[in-house]
Amino acid sequence: MKKILSISCIVCLCGVAWASSGTLDEQRARIEETGEYENNVPSRAHRVKSIRLDQVLLIPESTGDVVGMYDPYDGTYLGDIIVDDPTGTLYNLQTPINAIPGPDGNIYLSDQISDAVFVFDTSGTFLYTYADTTDGLDNIRGIDFRDDHLFVTSGDDYVAEFDGPHSLIRYFIQDGSDPFDILFLDDGRSLLSDIQGSTDNIRLYDTSGTLLYELFPVDFPEQIQVDSTLPGGFLNNSFSANQITDFELDGTIINTLYFDSGRGVYRLGNGNLLATNGDGVFEIDPGTGSIIEQENTGSARFIELCSAAVGVQESEYKPGGTTSLHMKPNPFARLIKISFGISKAGQVEAVIYSVLGVQVAVLLEGLQSTGNYTLTWDGKDDDGRIVNEGVYFLRLTTPDGKMSKKITFVK
């Protein structure tokens, strides 16, 4: 299964770690109850790297019914954090549209066909249904929070306001518009994308939900997003106008770029744009509108910055041994070669983890002598199954120190 070449290598392969199914505290509690701890140390088959919160972009994909994570600096796809419940008993993703951070730190996900808002923790574990058809929701799209109230846009021509789970208090906006997305400003006012048909436009509302004025007309506007590079500026991606618009709050249009059948949009940390449509996720040159790179395929939707539980990250050796680590090719499709050297004999581990910190595959574990080593990974987990496309991390531990390096697997 895995070809491992080394000097006096002692190789130990074991089963893949169980999938993340709750918070770490809950997982550890379950292990304690089942007696799988030995001397207060969890068995290695259930070992999960310590998880910390990190900022990622969340983008729902409404064909595969998943929510993917992307690097907010350059848009690199990092893997999926939320996947559909295969049993359909807890929740049923059919057309997820918008995943946003809540004031409680959880992830709130709207689904247009299920007519529901689902809540997940930062590891992607389902918690509960916040609102659904029992609250009158139908054909829902973009969502946003103002303080601790959730606002839900609907194709039934309203924006519903909730002050808690299944607690609809009013229709915040119901004025004949057909809202597709809503974005609240710091002062409590809101921007709305209206796809009514004869009056498609971006519009501004006061804090009570009363229309102040229409900013500019544009055919079938979808996501509205803050433009981090333009103080007081915003972005909109329009499906029918095939256009990304950079605009100000008074309706002044700063720039427009052609983008086919657009949905979501976000200004990346490197200054480029990340945009979505029915074909996937794309990094866009903001000057020319040309596609720099396609980050992922699928029917991608809105883009939001959110905190997610991320385990292993790239790091340098600590406290600073002489060990080197090289991997090629990277990205890889069939086999990646991992080369390193150790200057002190001792315990060595080379383990592959997912971006959520879940153990995927053990490449090497045991006592090793000094020298140079070469390992290979074929993209399979410890049970011999091909892993999903995305980003993984090699965690190398030697007597010289510890190091993590990013690996990108493509099919």
What pLDDT is stored for residue 198 in this prediction?
A: 84
DSSP sequence for 152-207: EEETTTEEEEESSTT-EEEEEE-SS--EEEEEE-TTS-EEEEE--SSS-EEEEE-T
In this structure, what token pair is assigned to residue 97?
């549209």
15-49, pLDDT tens digit by residue? Answer: 222 233 333 344 334 333 433 323 333 333 333 34
pLDDT exceeds cutoff 80 at 10 = no
pLDDT exceeds cutoff 70 at 248 = yes
Instruction: Identify the CATH assignment for 52-309 out of 2.120.10.30, 3.40.50.2300, 3.10.20.30, 3.40.50.150.
Output: 2.120.10.30
What pLDDT is stored for residue 310 in this prediction?
A: 63
Q: How many CB atoms lie within 10 A of CB 101?
A: 18
275-314, pLDDT tens digit by residue? Answer: 999 999 999 999 999 999 999 999 999 999 998 866 555 5
Confidence of residue 399 (pLDDT cuts 50, 70, 90): confident
Residues ≥6 apart with Cβ < 8 Å to 295: 70, 75, 76, 77, 274, 280, 281, 282, 283
Residues 247-264, mean pLDDT to the nearest whole number: 97
pLDDT exceeds cutoff 90 at 112 = yes
Per-domain boundaries in the chain: 4-34+41-51+312-409, 52-309
Candidates 223, 192, 212, 200; CA nearest to 98 is 223
What pLDDT is stored for residue 209 in this prediction?
A: 98
Residue 391's SS3 state is strand
pLDDT exceeds cutoff 70 at 321 = no
What pLDDT is stored for residue 239 in this prediction?
A: 98
Confidence of residue 366 (pLDDT cuts 50, 70, 90): very high
CATH 2.60.40.4070 describes domain 4-34+41-51+312-409: yes
Residues ≥6 apart with Cβ < 8 Å to 205: 173, 189, 190, 191, 192, 211, 212
Residues 235-263, mean pLDDT to the nearest whole number: 97
Q: Is the pTM of this model over 0.75?
A: no
Place of tokens 């609102």: 131
Residues 244-271, mean pLDDT to the nearest whole number: 97
Can you say how many angstroms the Cα of residue 408 is from the centroid of all Cα atoms in its chain?
Answer: 16
pLDDT exceeds cutoff 80 at 132 = yes
Residue 79 to residues 226, 321, 326, 355, Cα–Cα distance (Å): 25, 31, 23, 7
pLDDT-wise least confident of 30-39, 318-327, 385-394 = 30-39
d(CA 267, CA 148): 26
